[in-house]
Amino acid sequence: MEMIHVEEISTSALRSRQISSIHHLRQISFTPKRSKKSEVIYKFTQQNLHACKLSLTPQLVISLFLLMGIIFVPIGFVALHASRSVVEIVNRYDTECMPDEFKSNKVAYIQDISVSKNCTLAIKIPKFMKAPIHIYYQLDNYYQNHRRYVKSRNDKQLQYGLHYIQTSSCMPEEYSNGYPIVPCGLVAWSMFNDTYSFVRHGAPLFINRKNISWKSDRDHKFGEKIFPFNFQNGTLIGGKTLDPTIPLSEQEDLMVWMRASALPSFRKIYGRIEDDLDADEVVFVNIGNNYNTYTFGGKKKLVLSTSNMLLGGKNDFLGLSYITTGFSCIFLAVFFALLHVKNQRPDHDTSHFSWTRKNTIS
Amino acid sequence: MSRAWDRFRQSGSMFGFSTGRGRSGGDVELLGRGSSTHTVRLGRVQPQAPTHRTIYCNDRDSNLPVRFKGNSISTTKYNVLTFLPKGLFEQFRRVANLYFLMISILSTTPISPVHPITNVVPLSLVLFVSLVKEAFEDWKRLLNDRVINNTPVDVLQNEKWESIPWRKLQVGDIIKVRQDGFFPADLLFLASTNPDGICYIETSNLDGETNLKIRKALERTWDYLLPEKAAEFKGEIECEQPNNSLYTFTGNLLIQNQTLPLSPNQLLLRGCSLRNTEYIVGSVIFTGHETKVMMNAMNVPSKRSTLERKLDKLILTLFGVLFFMCVIGAIGSGIFINVNETYLALNGRVEQQFNPNNRFVVAILTMFTLLTLYSTIIPISLYVSIEMIKFIQSTQFINKDLHMYHIETDTPALARTSNLNEELGQVEYIFSDKTGTLTRNLMEFFKCSIDGEMYGTGVTEIERGAATRDGLNIAETKPSSTAIHEKGFNFDDPKIMRGAWRNEHNPSACKEFFRCLAICHTVLPEGDLSPEKIIYQAASPDEAALVTAAKNFGFFFYRRTPTMIMVRESHIEKMGKIQDISYEILNVLEFNSTRKRQSVICRYPNGRLVLYCKGADTVIYERLVDGNHNIKRVTREHLEQFGSSGLRTLCLAYKELSNELYGSWNEKFIQAKSSLRDREKKLDEVAELIENELILIGCTAIEDKLQEGVPSCIETLSRAGIKIWMLTGDKMETAINIAYACNLINNSMKQFTISSETNAIRAIEDRGDQVEIARYVRDSVKHDLERCLQEAERSQKDIPRTKMALIIDGKCLMFALESNLRGKLLRLSLDCNSVVCCRVSPLQKAQVTSLVKKGAKKITLSIGDGANDVSMIQAAHVGVGISGLEGMQAVMASDFSIAQFCFLSDLLLVHGRWAYLRLCKVITYFFYKNLTFTLTQFWFTFQTGFSGQRFYDDWFQSLFNVIFTALPVIILGLFDKDVSASLSKRYPELYLEGIKNMFFKWRVVGVWAFFSVYQSLIFYYFTSAASTNGLNSSGKIFGLWDVSTMAFTCVVVTANVRLLMECNSVTRWHYVSVGGSILSWFVFIFIYSGIMTTFDRQENIYFVIYVLMSTLYFYLTLLLVPIVALLGDFTYKGLQRWFSPYDFQIVQEIHRHEQDYSRRNELLEVTNHLTPDEARSYAISQLPRERSKHTGFAFDSPGYESFFASQHGIFAPHKAWDVARRASTRTNITNS
Check if the beta carbon of residue B907 is closer than 8 Å to that of residue B881.
Answer: no
Contacts of A154 in chain B (CB under 8 A): 1098
B859-870: pLDDT as tens digits: 999 998 876 787
- Do B763 and B697 share a structural domain? no
User: Is residue B445 part of an annotated ligand binding site?
Assistant: no
In order, the DSSP letters of B479-506 are P-TT-EEETTEEE--TTTGGGGGGGSS-
- Do B822 and B700 share a structural domain? no
Whether the predicted pLDDT of A7 surpasses 50: no
Distance of residue A281 Cα from the nearest chain B Cα, in angstroms: 23
Cα dist from A265 to A259, B947, B949, whole Å: 14, 16, 16
B137-185: pLDDT as tens digits: 788 888 888 888 888 898 988 888 889 998 888 888 889 998 888 888 8
Is B1003 buried (19+), middle (13-18) or exposed (0-12) by CB count in 10 A?
A: exposed
Q: What is the DSSP letter of B1163?
A: P
Q: Which of B1123, B1149, B1175 is the last residue of a domain?
A: B1149
Cα A154 to chain centroid, rounded: 22
Check if the beta carbon of residue A190 is closer than 8 Å to that of residue A242.
Answer: no
Classify strands A282-288 and B695-706 as parallel, antiparallel or unpaired: unpaired
Q: Do A269 and B1069 touch (CB under 8 A)?
A: no
A27 CB within 8 Å of a chain B CB: no
B370-392: pLDDT as tens digits: 998 998 898 888 888 898 899 88
Pick from B340, B1040, B1116: which is nearest to A260 by CB?
B1040
B231 CB within 8 Å of a chain A CB: no
Question: Domain holding B577: CATH number?
Answer: 3.40.1110.10
Identify the helix (H) or strand (E) that includes residue B993.
helix B992-995
Q: What is the DSSP letter of B423?
A: G
- Do B922 and B825 share a structural domain? no
Q: Do A3 and B145 touch (CB under 8 A)?
A: yes
Q: Do B341 and A5 touch (CB under 8 A)?
A: no
Average pLDDT over residues B624-651: 83
The pLDDT of residue B1123 is: 93
Average pLDDT over residues A164-184: 80
Q: Which residues, numbered 957 to 976 in chain B, qualify as contacts with chain A under a Cβ-Cβ cut-off of 8 Å? A: 975
Q: Helix, strand, or coil here: A246?
A: coil
Please give the sequence-ordered ranges of beta strands (E in DSSP) within B376-515, or none if there are none.
414-415, 429-432, 439-450, 453-455, 484-486, 489-491
B124 in a structural domain: no
Q: Do B1039 and A143 touch (CB under 8 A)?
A: no
B819 in a structural domain: yes
Give the whole-number percent of chain B exceeding pLDDT 90: 15
- Do B651 and B755 share a structural domain? no
Q: Tell me how many residue pairs between chain A and chain B have CB atoms under 8 A apart.
A: 368
B837 in a structural domain: no
Check if the beta carbon of residue B382 is closer than 8 Å to that of residue B96.
Answer: yes
The average confidence (pLDDT) of chain B is 80
Average pLDDT over residues B123-131: 86
Question: Domain holding B239: CATH number?
Answer: 2.70.150.10
Dihedrals φ, ψ of B202, to 5°?
Answer: -115, 130
Distance of residue B178 Cα from the nearest chain A Cα, in angstroms: 15
Classify strands B52-56 and A118-124 as parallel, antiparallel or unpaired: unpaired
B338 in a structural domain: no
The domain tally of chain B equals 4
Q: What is the DSSP letter of B962?
A: I
Q: Which of B296, B315, B335 is the last residue of a domain?
A: B296
B875 contact partners, CB below 8 Å, separation of at least 6 = B845, B846, B847, B849, B850, B853, B862
Contacts of A51 in chain B (CB under 8 A): 975, 977, 1065-1067, 1156
CA angle B232, B235, B239 (to 5 degrees): 155
Q: HSE-up of B168 (CA within 13 Å, CB side)? A: 12
Q: Which residues, numbered 150 to 169 in chain B, qualify as contacts with chain A under a Cβ-Cβ cut-off of 8 Å? A: none
- Do B801 and B652 share a structural domain? no
Check if the beta carbon of residue B179 is closer than 8 Å to that of residue B278.
Answer: yes
- Do B1024 and B950 share a structural domain? yes
User: Is residue B591 part of an annotated ligand binding site?
Assistant: yes
B941 CB within 8 Å of a chain A CB: no
- Of the pLDDT bands very low, low, confident and very high (cuts 50, 70, 90), residue B41 is very low
Q: Helix, strand, or coil here: B740?
A: helix
* Separation between Cα atoms, residue B850 and residue B843, nearest integer Å: 11
Q: Helix, strand, or coil here: A302?
A: strand
* Separation between Cα atoms, residue B117 and residue B957, nearest integer Å: 9
B1011 CB within 8 Å of a chain A CB: no
- Of the pLDDT bands very low, low, confident and very high (cuts 50, 70, 90), residue B97 is confident
Check if the beta carbon of residue A66 is closer than 8 Å to that of residue A333.
Answer: yes
Q: Which of B832, B858, B891 is the last residue of a domain?
A: B832
B1190 contact partners, CB below 8 Å, separation of at least 6 = B640, B643, B644, B736, B737, B740, B747
* Separation between Cα atoms, residue B1212 and residue B841, nearest integer Å: 12
CA angle B288, B292, B297 (to 5 degrees): 85
- Do B818 and B917 share a structural domain? no
Bridge partners for A136 per DSSP: A269, A303
B790 in a structural domain: yes
B778 in a structural domain: yes
The pLDDT of residue A13 is: 40
Check if the beta carbon of residue B214 is closer than 8 Å to that of residue B263.
Answer: no
User: Is residue B719 part of an annotated ligand binding site?
Assistant: no
How are the residues of chain B apportioned to helix, strand and coil, as percentages rounded to the nearest 5?
A: 50, 15, 35
Neighbour-count burial for B1036-1060, b at 16+ CB within 10 Å, e otherwise: bbbbbbbbbbbbbbbbbbbbbbbbb
B516-528: pLDDT as tens digits: 988 888 887 877 7
Q: Which of B224-238, B805-819, B962-976, B1154-1168 has the highest mean pLDDT?
A: B962-976
> What is the identity of the amino acid at B1200?
Y
Q: Helix, strand, or coil here: B36?
A: coil
- Which is nearest to B812 in space by CA: B844, B853, B767? B844
B1033 CB within 8 Å of a chain A CB: yes
B588 in a structural domain: yes
B341 CB within 8 Å of a chain A CB: yes
* Separation between Cα atoms, residue B446 and residue B1058, nearest integer Å: 60
CB atoms within 10 A of CB A6: 24
- Of the pLDDT bands very low, low, confident and very high (cuts 50, 70, 90), residue A331 is very high
Q: Which of B186, B401, B433, B451 is catalytic?
A: B433
- Of the pLDDT bands very low, low, confident and very high (cuts 50, 70, 90), residue B317 is very high
> What is the identity of the amino acid at B424?
L
The pLDDT of residue B466 is: 67
- Of the pLDDT bands very low, low, confident and very high (cuts 50, 70, 90), residue A25 is low
User: Is residue B769 part of an annotated ligand binding site?
Assistant: no
Selected residue with higher pLDDT from B440 and B877: B877
* Separation between Cα atoms, residue B913 and residue B1162, nearest integer Å: 18
Contacts of A145 in chain B (CB under 8 A): 940, 943-944, 947, 949, 1040
Q: What is the pTM of this model?
A: 0.80
User: Is residue B881 part of an annotated ligand binding site?
Assistant: no
Identify the helix (H) or strand (E) that includes residue B584.
strand B578-589
Alpha helices in B59-218 (DSSP H): 60-63, 83-92, 95-106, 117-149, 204-207
Classify strands A118-124 and B555-560 as parallel, antiparallel or unpaired: unpaired
Q: What is the DSSP letter of B79?
A: -
B1 CB within 8 Å of a chain A CB: yes
Q: What is the DSSP letter of B196?
A: T
Check if the beta carbon of residue B164 is closer than 8 Å to that of residue B255.
Answer: no
- Do B1010 and B921 share a structural domain? yes
Dihedrals φ, ψ of B723, to 5°?
Answer: -100, 135
* Separation between Cα atoms, residue B259 and residue B1075, nearest integer Å: 81
- Do B1081 and B954 share a structural domain? yes
**Closest alpha carbon within chain A to B949:** A147
Average pLDDT over residues B394-422: 85
Contacts of B1024 in chain A (CB under 8 A): 262-263
* Domain coverage including residue B449: 440-454+483-661+691-704
For chain A, state the CA radius of gyration: 34
The verdict on whether B433 is a catalytic residue reads yes
Pick from B144, B397, B944: which is nearest to A47 by CB?
B397
B683 in a structural domain: no
The pLDDT of residue A359 is: 54
Distance of residue B412 Cα from the nearest chain A Cα, in angstroms: 7
- Do B1048 and B948 share a structural domain? yes
User: Is residue B614 part of an annotated ligand binding site?
Assistant: yes
**Closest alpha carbon within chain A to B1117:** A318
* Separation between Cα atoms, residue B672 and residue B687, nearest integer Å: 10
B271 CB within 8 Å of a chain A CB: yes
A253 contact partners, CB below 8 Å, separation of at least 6 = A191, A192, A209, A212, A240
Q: Among B146, B801, B1037, B1152, which would you mutate to test the A interface (most chain A Cβ atoms within 10 Å of its Cβ)?
A: B1037
- Do B757 and B698 share a structural domain? no
B998 CB within 8 Å of a chain A CB: no
* Separation between Cα atoms, residue B1190 and residue B746, nearest integer Å: 9
The pLDDT of residue B1160 is: 41
* Separation between Cα atoms, residue B555 and residue B563, nearest integer Å: 19
Q: Do B1039 and A259 touch (CB under 8 A)?
A: yes
Contacts of A84 in chain B (CB under 8 A): none
Which of A304-313, B15-24, B212-221, B674-683 has the least mean pLDDT?
Answer: B15-24
Pick from B205, B297, B1123: which is nearest to A5 by CB?
B205
Identify the helix (H) or strand (E) that includes residue B1065.
strand B1065-1067
B396 CB within 8 Å of a chain A CB: yes
User: Is residue B434 part of an annotated ligand binding site?
Assistant: yes
Q: Which residues, numbered 142 to 201 in chain A, qualify as contacts with chain B under a Cβ-Cβ cut-off of 8 Å? A: 142-151, 153-156, 159, 166, 169, 171-173, 186, 189-190
B460-495: pLDDT as tens digits: 776 776 666 666 665 555 556 666 777 778 887 778
Q: Do B412 and A321 touch (CB under 8 A)?
A: no
Q: Do A48 and B1158 touch (CB under 8 A)?
A: yes
Alpha helices in B555-709 (DSSP H): 617-622, 629-644, 659-674, 679-690
Q: Which of B118-127, B406-415, B897-906 has the highest mean pLDDT?
A: B897-906
- Which is nearest to B975 in space by CA: B205, B528, B397? B397
User: Is residue B551 part of an annotated ligand binding site?
Assistant: no
Whether the predicted pLDDT of A20 surpasses 70: no
B688-726: pLDDT as tens digits: 888 888 888 899 988 887 888 888 888 889 889 899 999
* Separation between Cα atoms, residue B809 and residue B814, nearest integer Å: 9
Classify strands B750-754 and B804-809 as parallel, antiparallel or unpaired: parallel
**Closest alpha carbon within chain B to A264:** B943
CB atoms within 10 A of CB B384: 22
Contacts of B297 in chain A (CB under 8 A): 1-2
Pick from B14, B1065, B1159: which is nearest to A51 by CB?
B1065
Cα dist from B264 to B211, B213, B250, B567, B1162, whole Å: 18, 12, 7, 47, 56
Q: Which residues, numbered 100 to 129 in chain A, qualify as contacts with chain B under a Cβ-Cβ cut-off of 8 Å? A: none
Q: Among B77, B339, B343, which would you mutate to test the A interface (most chain A Cβ atoms within 10 Å of its Cβ)?
A: B343
Average pLDDT over residues B993-1002: 90
Give the whole-number percent of chain B exceeding pLDDT 70: 85
CB atoms within 10 A of CB A156: 23
